Amino acid sequence: MKITWLGHSAFRIEIGKAKILLDPFLTHNPSFAGQDAKDVANGITHILLTHGHGDHVGDTVALAKASGAVVLANADLAAWLGSKGLSRIEAGNTGGTISFDGFSATFTNALHSSAQITEDGVSHALGNANGLMLHFDEEASILAMGDTDIFSDMALINELHQPEIALVPVGDRFTMGGAVAALACQRYFNFKTAMPCHYGTFPIIDQTPEKFVSGMEGSKTAVNAPRPGESLSF
């Protein structure tokens, strides 16, 4: 398995035949500067979305049309994407699981909002915000927490799914900050590896993951904080 952080909350996950883009906010992502969205999306088979904010939906419509990738999103967001001309859409909602060739995706809870003001100036309600629990046939499981604060039912997510790798928002202001994210990881989960995200993109959120890294010191979870564009293999 290879996981590439593309900046903010965007990741590329490659395993077997599956080449997945998660929350592909690329074109207007300041930390994605100097890279080409089409190159990163080359060969993708799936696009997975945690919620409907623009800094997560990002380039989904253009990349899905160009690649033919299947898009997974909550039901309301999926309907909105359908109105934009996408047809290969898998819709679900909190608690539901959708199976693909080689992996499955379960919509978990997240404490956040999910709406988008589009170019026409209209605010579109795009369902609940979610995390995504990814189980692979032969590799480590991944919990993409999405944008969220800490909540005690994270313990149930761990009990039900036993995720091994975590993609954790740490930037504060719009998500939990690094210290709280570290508390969430240590109190409610038994991750083998945690990768911080949702930081360093805009001036009003934390610019580094240091609060999270410091908060995780002494834990059994290895923290990997790659640079944008850097890949980690598991």
- Cα–Cα distance, 39 to 160 (Å, whole number): 36
CATH architecture of residue range(s) 2-233: 4-Layer Sandwich (3.60)
According to DSSP, the β-strands at 222-223 and 193-197 are: parallel
Residues with Cβ within 8 Å of residue 153, at least 6 apart in sequence: 109
End-to-end CA distance of the chain: 5
Instruction: Look at 19 and 38; give whichever has higher pLDDT.
Output: 19
pLDDT at 149: 98
- Cα–Cα distance, 128 to 93 (Å, whole number): 8
pLDDT at 99: 98
DSSP code per residue over 112-139: S--EEE-TTS-EEE----EEEEEEESSS
pLDDT tens digits, residue range 143-160? 999 999 999 999 999 999
Tokens matching residue 183:
């508390």
Residues with Cβ within 8 Å of residue 60, at least 6 apart in sequence: 24, 47, 49, 71, 81, 86
The residue ranges of every structural domain in the chain are 2-233
pLDDT at 179: 98
Tokens matching residue 64:
């899905």
pLDDT at 35: 80
pLDDT tens digits, residue range 161-217? 999 999 999 999 999 999 999 999 999 999 999 999 999 999 999 999 999 999 999
pLDDT tens digits, residue range 45-95? 999 999 999 999 999 999 999 999 999 999 999 999 999 999 999 999 999
Q: In DSSP terms, which residues pair with 210 in a beta bridge?
A: none
pLDDT at 34: 77
pLDDT at 91: 98
pLDDT tens digits, residue range 106-139? 999 999 999 988 777 888 899 999 999 999 998 9
- Cα–Cα distance, 141 to 157 (Å, whole number): 12
